[in-house]
Amino acid sequence: MNNTELVSKSNFIRNIIDEDLRTNKNDGQVITRFPPEPNGYLHIGHAKSICLNFGIAADYPNGRCNLRFDDTNPAKESPEYVKAICEDVRWLGFQWDGEVKFASDYFDRLYAFAIELIRAGKAYVCSLDSEEMREYRGTLTQAGQDSPYRNRSVEENLALFEQMRSGQFADGEHVLRAKIDMASPNLNMRDPAIYRIKKMTHHQTGDKWCIYPMYDFTHCLSDAIEGITHSLCTLEFEDHRPLYDWVLDNVDAGCHPQQIEFARLNLSHTLTSKRKLKRLIDDKIVNGWDDPRLPTVSGLRRRGYTPAAIRNFCDDIGVTRSDGVVDVAMLTHNIRADLETTAPRAMCVLAPLKVVITNYPEDRVEQLSSPVHPEYPDMGTRTLPFSRELYIENDDFMENPPSKYFRLAPGKEVRLRNAYVIRCDQVIRDDQGQLVELHCTYDDKTLGANPVGRKVKGVVHWVSVDHAVPCEVRLYDQLFTLGNPDVDDYTENLNPDSLVTLTGCQAEPGLSSAQPEQRFQFERLGYFCCDRYDSSVDRLVFNRTVTLRDTWAKMQKKAK
Ligand code: ATP
Ligand code: MG
């Protein structure tokens, strides 16, 4: 990304880097990495980490950021996720340094590091089963006990580890453990497993391995192999830092990156955990990882979010060490702020009610002109055909309105946006009493001018029946009704109206050429995005990104 595009505000991590640069700690280099496990799609929490890591690389003169897949658990990972993650990072506007990297690229070297530890008497093959292992580990208040296998000789350990590698044992029969301290107050330091047997094909290495290194062993060494200077991760890894450092202190990996933790992003009304999101997908609560109701990067993209809005949001929330929940209104505020200035305006009637202008000639069509954006004339104009038969929004008419109702009602006037003022003269119903259409008259002196001698307050959107293009509109709302849906049985908090699909909507003719992912403001309704998969020339589909009202901005103003 271009350095001038977005220089993020400072934070405690940038302060550390500034200080390191001042003391020339890493020869002036700043190398970060984004290390996803390919076990699901990226979500908005990952976007925070991406913006942080790639943002630092972009803003510092010698900055670089790697994309490295942390792929040590073949059971949960897949190439589909690898592909989707790469696409999402690029879509967000970032480019990793060099080739995409995989922890599995380093399996040979990690194996050699494990042997180095065994040779130094700092790792051993343990043959306790998982239940015994748990018992020996102790608890937060009770020290652990040494494994009876802890004092195996180096030769025995080397031989057993080699047999583990060559497939002579079943899954779980043995593990390789670091020999640290079973009495450590930090449970992560009580002889953690660093290699396990898992007879499973790996998406990158195929059947080459049947033992796989554990995360804590892999991560720090992968960082060192890549010469990472600052290894940024979320707070839950704080307790793992002593292990991160122990491994690097006990093998010769060439350098010792610094792990720095920051708070993960939690967003209200949604879930930010791949595991929990996967459950929503597996249970068919939503339609896949890119369902526009999910806070996944691909879901937000499909919903109509722009990369800039997501980056700005990440910049707004900042990077700190205090956990909290960010109101989702802060995210929607950012997409509104972006689309307000960039989205072309259009009119679309979601639930059409026919209006016949009885004093308008049957064969006449006027090509009215209207700005694409009211504040930016440079964006050009659009043509709105006006004719005798129009559609307005069903909701913009009331037969028995309360006082202060400014939209259309019998005997009342309203302005058709970008066009004339009309008056409702007659309500036409069928035999069953169903509303069929309204008969109205228009005032031909009100195009771009106020009516003489009276005030017309209401403005409604409309399209011409003969010229409108039919479309489908999907109205999306929060998936959960609760601010914090992260409870055991999330199904109790599902919003039954999180997706309302409207067919038979009618849009102004210019929208017939809408391209997938093109965004619009449908006047008076909100921001909408042409669906990137389901929309085509034969079937236009729009997703509502967000409504027009911005509660976040209002709250901010009040707070001031
Ligand atoms: P999840 O719980 O969703 O699976 P994870 O941490 O297991 O998340 P990884 O693929 O391991 O997912 O994450 C890659 C990187 O993104 C890590 O550095 C992790 O710390 C960071 N990350 C993940 N979730 C968040 C979040 N909610 N906020 C900030 N950073 C996050
Ligand atoms: Mg993880």
**How many angstroms separate the CA atoms of 67 and 107, rounded?**
17
Q: Is a pLDDT exceeding 50 seen at residue 347? A: yes
pLDDT band at 273 (very low <50, low <70, confident <90, very high): very high
Q: What is the mean pLDDT of residues 390-403?
A: 96
Quote the ligand 1 centre to 435 CA distance (angstroms).
54
Find the mean pLDDT for residues 34-62: 97
Within 13 Å of residue 102, how many CA atoms lie on the same side as its CB? Answer: 20
Q: Determine the Cα–Cα distance for residues 96 and 90; give it in Å rounded to an integer.
A: 9
Q: What does pTM read for this prediction? A: 0.95
pLDDT at residue 248 tops 90: yes
Query: Averaged over 51-57, what is the pLDDT?
Result: 97
Q: Specify the pLDDT at position 560.
A: 63
Virtual torsion, Cα 461, 465, 466, 467, nearest 10 deg: 30
pLDDT band for 314, please (50, 70, 90 cuts): very high
Q: What is the pLDDT of residue 3?
A: 38
Q: Which of 76, 109, 150, 264 is catalytic?
A: 264
Return the residue whose CA atom lies nearest to atom 4 of ligand 1: 274
Question: With 60 as the cut, is the pLDDT of residue 6 above it?
Answer: no
The closest residue, in CA terms, to atom 13 on ligand 1 is: 36
Contact yes or no for 511/505 (Cβ under 8 A): no
Instruction: Give the span between the Cα atoms of 463 and 354, in whole angstroms.
Output: 10
What whole-number distance in Å separates Cα of residue 110 and Cα of residue 38? Answer: 20
Measured CA distances, 271 to 40, 326, 332, 483, 546 (Å): 14, 12, 16, 10, 19
Residue to probe by mutation, ligand 1, list 13, 42, 46, 315, most atoms within 8 Å of CB? 46
Pocket flag, ligand 1, residue 73 (CB < 6 Å): no
- With a 6 Å cutoff on the Cβ, whether 192 touches ligand 1 is no
CA distance 71 to 35: 9
* pLDDT (average), residues 379-389: 98
To which residue do tokens 């999907």 refer? 474
* Catalytic residue status for 37: yes
Give the pLDDT band (50/70/90) at residue 497: very high
3-class secondary structure, 254? coil
Alpha-carbon span 162 to 382, nearest angstrom:
73
Q: How far is the CA of 384 from the centre of ligand 1 (A)?
A: 48
How many C-beta atoms lie closer than 10 Å to residue 502's C-beta? Answer: 14
Please indicate whether residue 556 or residue 484 has the higher confidence score (pLDDT): 484
Other beta carbons within 10 Å of 3? 11
Residue 482 CB neighbour total at 10 angstroms: 15
pLDDT band at 331 (very low <50, low <70, confident <90, very high): very high
The DSSP bridge partners found for residue 553 are none
Average pLDDT over residues 116-144: 97
Asked if 62 and 28 count as a contact pair (C-beta separation under 8 A), the reply is yes
Query: Which of 14, 33, 101, 274 does the annotation list as catalytic?
Result: 274
Q: At what angle do helices 107-119 and 215-225 cross, to 10 degrees?
A: 110
- The percentage of residues in the chain with a pLDDT greater than 90, rounded to a whole number, is 93
Ligand nearest to the CA of residue 53, numbered in listed order:
1
Rg of the Cα trace of the chain?
Answer: 31
Tell me the average pLDDT across 198-221: 98
Q: Which amino acid appears at position 15 of this protein?
A: N
Ligand 2: distance of its center to the CA of 432 in Å? Answer: 61
Q: What is the pLDDT of residue 493?
A: 86
Burial per residue of 405-422, b for 16 or more beta-carbon CB atoms within 10 angstroms, e otherwise: ebbbbeebbbbbbbbbbb
Pairing of strands 499-507, 348-349: antiparallel
pLDDT at 486: 74
| Percentage of the chain modeled with pLDDT above 70 | 97
Contact 122, 165 (CB under 8 A): no
Kindly indicate the confidence band of residue 8, based on its pLDDT and cuts at 50, 70 and 90. confident
Q: How many CB atoms lie within 10 A of CB 273?
A: 14
Q: Report the pLDDT averaged over residues 511-539.
A: 96
The rounded distance, in Å, linking the Cα atoms of 508 and 463 is: 6
Instruction: Check residue 482 and give its pLDDT.
Output: 84
Residue 152 has pLDDT above 90, yes or no: yes
The number of the ligand nearest the C-alpha atom of 297 reads 1
Ligand 1: atom nearest CA of 275 is 4
Mean pLDDT along residues 180-193:
98
Contacts of 500 (CB under 8 A, 6+ apart): 474, 475, 477
pLDDT higher than threshold 60 for residue 199: yes
What the chain holds in terms of domains, given with CATH numbers, is 12-262 (3.40.50.620), 274-345+471-559 (2.40.240.10), 350-460 (2.40.240.10)
* Cross-strand partners of 422: 414, 442
Q: Look at residue 484 in the predicted model and tell me its pLDDT.
A: 82
Ligand 1 near 197 CB (within 6 A): no
Of the listed ligands, the closest to the CA of 277 is 1
Q: Kindly report the CA angle at 171 between 169 and 177, in degrees rounded to 5?
A: 85
Q: Which amino acid is at 73?
A: N
Interhelix angle 241-250/215-225, rounded to 10 degrees, is: 60
In sequence order, the 6+-apart residues with CB closer than 8 A to the CB of 142 are none
Cβ–ligand 1 contact at 526 (below 6 Å): no
460 has pLDDT over 70: yes
Q: Is 298 in the pocket of ligand 1 (CB under 6 A)?
A: no
Q: Are 39 and 69 in contact (CB under 8 A)?
A: no
Is the pLDDT at 35 greater than 90? The verdict is yes
Secondary structure letter of residue 264 according to DSSP:
P
Structure tokens at 331: 């995210």
How is residue 93 written in tokens? 């506007």
pLDDT (average), residues 201-212: 98
The answer, yes or no, to whether any atom of ligand 1 lies below 6 A from the CB of 52, is no
Q: Which two tokens stand for residue 250?
A: 């006990």
In the prediction, which pLDDT does 9 show? 81
Q: Which residue has the higher pLDDT, 489 or 206?
A: 206
Write the DSSP assignment of 93-116 as a string of letters.
Answer: T---SSS-EEGGGGHHHHHHHHHH
pLDDT at residue number 2: 41
Q: Supply the mean pLDDT for the chain.
A: 95
More confident residue, 490 or 464: 464
- Answer yes or no: is pLDDT of 320 > 70: yes
Half-sphere exposure in the Cβ direction for 473 (13 Å, CA): 25
**Cβ atoms of 305 and 313 closer than 8 Å:** no
Taking the centre of ligand 2 as the mean of its atom positions, its distance from the CA of residue 21, in whole angstroms, is 30
